[in-house]
Amino acid sequence: MRSIDEPNVTTSQSELLKLLIGGWVSSSIGAAVDLGLADLLRRGAMDGEAVAAAMGVAPESLTRLLRMLRALGIVVRDDDRRYSLSPIGELLRSDHPQSMRNLVRLYQEQYFADAWSELVPALRDGEQPFTRAHGETVFDYLGSRPDALAVYGSGIAVGSMFVADLPNVYDFGGKCVVDVGGGDGTLLDVILAAVPDSTGRLIERQAVVSAAVDRLQEYIAQQRCEVFAGNFFDPLPAGGDVAVLCRILHNWDDERARAILENCRAAMRAGSPLLIIERVVSDLRPTPVATAFDMHMFVMTSGRERTDEEYRRLLASAGFELVSIKGLPLEMSLVEAHAR
């Protein structure tokens, strides 16, 4: 006799199987990026043989990759068996204004995979997976490998596309924005371009501050922006109207995150706002993206994505009061706190 639960079991098996092949999906998209498929197809629809010849790959093997990319919605095929890019596939072009090509490249880095391979042992003994795999922290690893750091930086910049929505969510009009750990200046560039009467200050480590200087040169020349070499674990320059920590705190455990917040508080006036831009996880309605990044922080760093209550407690311990949490694209959130 067939069990009444059998159809549900089959459906569940199918759904689980779709999850299990996620690594193969990512690798196939990565192969398409490495081969330059999207940049080739932006010129127009091509049949498989022409694509294979242009990329210097075996036609039969490419046919199988293209079939998978069709199933994933990356490419489409017309009645003449010519391939072209879908709207999702367009995002893999190097010249697309919202290109995610460099993020694909970052997620294919071998040091990511090596760190994730230590997940089970790390869950058992509590040792940090990346350090277990590589014998050093991810920040030390990248600091001694310029090529890996360049791929990391370009990938992180792609992952920052949500900042384009910031001026619509928070009023920066007439304010001096202090971007603490501001990377290559992407966030300040967006704010200064969108809000003509705003000004900015960026603080970043000496080793990478030159990238911010290059990006913000126009605003520096206009005397709307200053760039400082510094470390958020050291005392920060005072001043500014609103401080920003964009994807900083999730890299650190509570003790180190509190030290960063305390340095921010020491440089701020009572009542001044601090904007924290991170993914906020929910225990009530967890989502795959936010929880996946939380696990990635576990694997790669000592940090974590935090719940709203965890942010409330952490902020209070450093002299801030959580005021509001607003949604941003890509499951990011704008956490606003005020210095007490």
Residues with a known catalytic role: 250
- Pairwise CA distance, residues 293 & 299, whole Å: 10
DSSP states of 100-157 as a string?
-HHHHHHHT-HHHHHHHTTHHHHHHH---HHHHHHSS-HHHHHHT-HHHHHHHHHHHH
The Cα angle at residue 91 between residues 86 and 96, in degrees rounded to 5: 115
Q: How many residues does the chain have?
A: 340
Distance (Å, whole) CA 124 – CA 329: 35
Give the residue carrying structure tokens 């694997």.
Answer: 299
End-to-end Cα spacing for the chain: 68
Whether the CB-CB separation of 66 and 75 falls below 8 Å is answered with: yes
Whose tokens are 């990346």? That residue is 130
Helix (H, G, I), strand (E, B) or coil at 17: helix
Burial 258-292 (b: 16+ CB within 10 A, else e): bebbebbbebbeeebbbbbbbbbbeeeeeeeebee
How far apart are the C-alpha atoms of 172 and 224, rounded to whole Å? Answer: 14
Which residue pairs, CB below 8 angstroms and at least 24 apart, start in 131-138? 137/301, 137/302, 138/300, 138/301
Q: What is the CA radius of gyration of the chain?
A: 23
Question: Which ranges constitute the DSSP H helices of the chain?
Answer: 6-20, 22-35, 37-41, 48-55, 59-72, 87-90, 101-107, 110-116, 119-125, 129-134, 138-143, 146-158, 166-169, 186-194, 209-215, 217-221, 254-266, 288-300, 308-317
